Amino acid sequence: MAKIRGTVVIDTNRCKGCDLCVVACPTDVLVLGNEVNSKGYNYAQQVKPDECIGCANCGYVCPDGCITVYKVKI
């Protein structure tokens, strides 16, 4: 049976750091980083890319549509 791995792409310029994606992630792949974007917000970052399961919970809860989730069979 193929294993599925996911990856998260975040549009950091649109992210306002609301933290909803971080809370929604069941595998704690996302965190709010220390860096700020051009609008002055701390934006979400993927810190454990190998643990992403591609569930897309983060993308569903993002109010600004900043997150795209890709799934790959390995």
pTM for this prediction: 0.88
pLDDT in tens, 16-48: 999 999 999 999 999 999 999 999 999 999 999
The full DSSP string for 4-62 is EEEEEEE-TTT-----HHHHH-TT--EEEEEEE-TTS-EEEEES-GGG-----HHHHH-
Q: Which domains does the chain have, with CATH numbers?
A: 4-73 (3.30.70.20)
Q: What percent of the chain has pLDDT over 70?
A: 99
CA distance 3 to 23: 24
